Chains A and B, each alone.
Chain A
Amino acid sequence: MKVYGAILSPFVCRALLALRYKGIEHETLMPEGGLKTPEYLKINPLGKIPAIKDGALTLPESSVIVEYIEAKYPKKPIIPGSAKAAAQARLIATVSDLYVQGVVTGLFGQRDPAKRDKALVKEKLAELEKGLTVLNDLLADGGPWAMGKKFTIADCYGVPALFFVHLVVPSFGVKDPLAKHKKVKKYWSALKRDPMTKVVLKEMDVMAKQFFGGGK
């Protein structure tokens, strides 16, 4: 399988986590000549990353790709077998996407204090607190993964979301963005220790330093 994109993109990271966890052979590459070449637009008419090529199939959109990987390569499932647990895993993924990562994305352009819209930053930081509070309630009690003992789709979303929380939020004077969210903090520590996610976070960190001169 070919994965177009780079691991620093939180969207690409979701797909790469699913592939690495399942042990599916893949090659990661940036589209030659950029995202808007006629060749790449044929693979993804939206001109975004990630997109995958698996045999004759080309597929854009991270959420679609992750579900496809699970359906096509069911070994080492990332979606729990019971309907209730599957719903919980998907809910944690959605909350990480919309109410954590989505909010942090909105803060990204505000890092420079000279160009900062203070009212917007205040609003977004409050939204992020809300998202992290809900995430904290949803995470499994014992860890180490979002759903407990096993890696799931929730972690495919949780890992890049929390990476970006730590990359972006300290720029606004918040030293420890997880201070009030004990379970999330414990989860983040576990992600930094796990042999697979540790490597992923390190790779993201190296790229972040290259691109933004920062990271954690």
Chain B
Amino acid sequence: MKIYGSPLSPFVARIILACDHKGIDHSVEMPEGGLKTPEYLALNPFGKIPTVKIGKTVLYESGVILSYLDDTHGKKAIIPKSANGAARARLIATISELYVQDPALQLFRQLMGRSPKDPAAAKDLVAKLEQGLDVLNMYISPGPCAGGKGFTIADCYVAPALVFVDAVAAKFGVKDVYKGRANVKKYWAAIKKHKSAKRQIGEMLKLMKDRLKAM
């Protein structure tokens, strides 16, 4: 399976984590010539990453791809079989995406100079991020995985998001972002060592370190 994208993109990382967990052979590469070439837009009309190619099947949008992978590779399922278990895993994933990763990514863009520095907006984003982490802390398990025992779709979303939380929090004045958020803190320590996540999260942390150094 071919994954178009960069391993540091949290959206791409979701797919890589699912592949690592399920043992699906995959390669990760950026589309040649960038995201807006006619060739790439023919695969993904929005010109975003990730896009995957599995045989003749082309899919985009990370949430769609993850459900497809679970449907076609039933072994080591990432969506729990019980309705309640699945709902919990999806809820943790959604909270992480909308209320943790989204403000963290917007702060990251300011940090990288990709969007204009705006201290007032940054203050709002930090407040949003802190609120999102509070809610995440209410639902997440302290480990070994986000939903409890087994690796699920929740881990595909939360672990990459926390790479970005780590990168931005201190730069925007939050000294200890996990203070008072013991579940998230314990989870973060545990997932970095989990056999399905450690390779990809390790690579992201290394890429992030290089990125911050090059600033």
Contacts and interface: CB of A to CB of B under 8 A. Distances in A.
Classify the secondary structure of B's interface with A.
Answer: helix
Nearest to A62: B94
B46 A68 contact: no
Nearest to A84: B57
A91 B63 CA distance: 9
B83 A72 contact: yes
Given A61-B95, A91-B64, A137-B45, A68 B83 contact: yes
A172 interface: no
Interface string A34-50: 00000000000110000
B111 interface: no
A188 B95 CA distance: 31
Interface in B54-99: 57, 59-61, 63-65, 67-68, 71-72, 82-84, 86-87, 90-91, 94-95, 99
Contacts of B71: 83, 86-87
A71 B46 contact: no
A196 interface: no
Contact of A86 (B61, B67, B83, B87): B67
Given A57-B84, A130-B46, A134-B46, A90 B67 contact: yes
B135 interface: yes
20 contacts: A45-B138, A46-B99, A46-B135, A57-B87, A60-B91, A64-B87, A64-B94, A67-B86, A68-B87, A71-B83, A83-B72, A86-B71, A87-B65, A90-B61, A90-B63, A90-B64, A91-B60, A94-B61, A95-B61, A99-B46
Interface of B: 45-46, 57, 59-61, 63-65, 67-68, 71-72, 82-84, 86-87, 90-91, 94-95, 99, 134-135, 138
Interface of A: 45-46, 57, 59-61, 63-64, 67-68, 71-72, 83-84, 86-87, 90-91, 94-95, 99, 130, 133-134, 137
Top 7 A-B pairs ranked by shortest CB distance? Answer: A83-B71, A71-B83, A72-B83, A68-B87, A87-B68, A64-B90, A90-B64
